[in-house]
Amino acid sequence: MSTHYFLALPIEDAQFERVQRDILPYYSYRRTYRPEEFHLTLQFLGALDDDEVEAVKEIARDVTAVTAPFSLTFKQIDHFGRPDRPRVLTIVPDSSVELTTLTGTLRRKLSEEIASLDRKPFVPHVTLAKKWDTGTRIPYIPSAFKIEESIEAIILYRINPKHTPAYEAVEVFPLQRSEEDTWRSRLKFLT
């Protein structure tokens, strides 16, 4: 089985876990994400050879070197699939010029380098749970929430489906900052 990769923004605010805990009783999922697995995928990369992994790292370094840290605001639950049995339960960010610019630049450069790149449209979201189990969704009115997430790095993740957590940080690419802050950020995710 080949190794798959993706580039994502790490999501760390503890409020995501609280929102997840509050709404899961109204749903039925086989796979619930753990807080250390929360992320916002920028680009699924699929199976890559060693040269492609190095090319992805170089592109990520180039893009993050000219991208300043920014924040995202999350206030809405959403889903993919049927409303009564959604296959994926998510939290979505408000529209963000910074996220759109970062993702557009990153995906354009990656598509120039990797022919087999997944070209699905970018739909920003943080997955809370997936793989509908049984029954139907119980109607409810979600509690209001507002989460401000500081975005300071992109991470290249390797998928290890038989491990917990399933996502392993391969390399951290801090957004534009001083050299000292860069090393602090890398150590935070790689330890």
Q: Which residues are catalytic?
A: 39, 125
162-165 long-range contacts (CB < 8 A, ≥24 apart) are 164/34, 165/34, 165/36, 165/37
Q: Please report, for residues 11, 31, 78, 126, the alpha-carbon distance to residue 93 in angstroms, rounded to integers and kept in the order given.
A: 12, 22, 10, 8
Q: What angle do CA 80, 81, 86 make, to 5 degrees?
A: 85
DSSP one-letter code for 55? H
**Pairing label, strands 153-159, 147-151:** unpaired
Instruction: Report the C-alpha gap between 87 and 98 in whole angstroms.
Output: 29
